[in-house]
Amino acid sequence: MLRFTTAALTAAFIAVSGPLLAQGAQVAFGGMQQDTDAPVEVTADQLQVNQSDGTALYTGNVVIGQGEMRLAAPRVLVIYTEGQGRIDRLEASGGVTLVSGEEAAEAERADYSIDTGTVVMTGNVLLTQGNNALTSERMVVNLEDGTAEMTGRVRTVLNQGDDAAQQ
């Protein structure tokens, strides 16, 4: 005979009702704070620089690293702050993966504002945290405090493991 603890029942209720009720969710992301002043390293198959508009277009297997964070995409447009020679923002598209610590997020597009330390991911966002998964249409990651907010029909799948249900 199976017995459920109050915690297991609560978790089961959240897992079942979450997908039906959630319109937005605040979650932790990366388990650490990201140093947004750390150097940004970009590798890619190809680079096109446009001096007239202050952009650089990286294409083909683009990987961007800053501290413990990694962002990968087929195409990333780097926009520099006018007259300062420093990166203002990155616009990644074509299927983006963002990894920080043991967590990973995927989306169709990601815009990273260096000054504000935010990454806005849009289009079929999938966030995995261990065995748990969350999906939405939009996620805003605050790299300075290690949090994220998901909006646009949020769905959560919480895996509790076999031990919780058998107790």
CATH (domain of 37): 2.60.450.10
For residue 1, being part of any structural domain is answered with: no
For residue 156, being part of any structural domain is answered with: yes
Instruction: Concatenate the DSSP letters of all residues of 143-167 into one string.
Output: TTTTEEEEESS-EEE----HHHHH-
Q: Which of 158, 133, 127, 150 is nearest to 22 (CA)?
A: 150
pLDDT in tens, the chain (167 residues): 333 322 332 333 333 333 333 445 666 665 545 666 788 899 999 999 998 898 999 999 999 988 888 999 999 999 998 877 788 999 999 999 999 878 899 999 999 998 898 999 999 999 998 888 999 999 998 888 888 899 999 998 887 765 444 44
For residue 97, being part of any structural domain is answered with: yes
| Interacting residues of 19 by C-beta distance below 8 A, sequence separation 6+ | 155, 156, 157
Q: Which of 116, 123, 67, 51 is nearest to 90 (CA)?
A: 116
Entry pTM? 0.75
For residue 120, being part of any structural domain is answered with: yes
- The count of other CB atoms within 10 Å of the CB of residue 98 is 28
> Residue 152: which domain range?
6-166
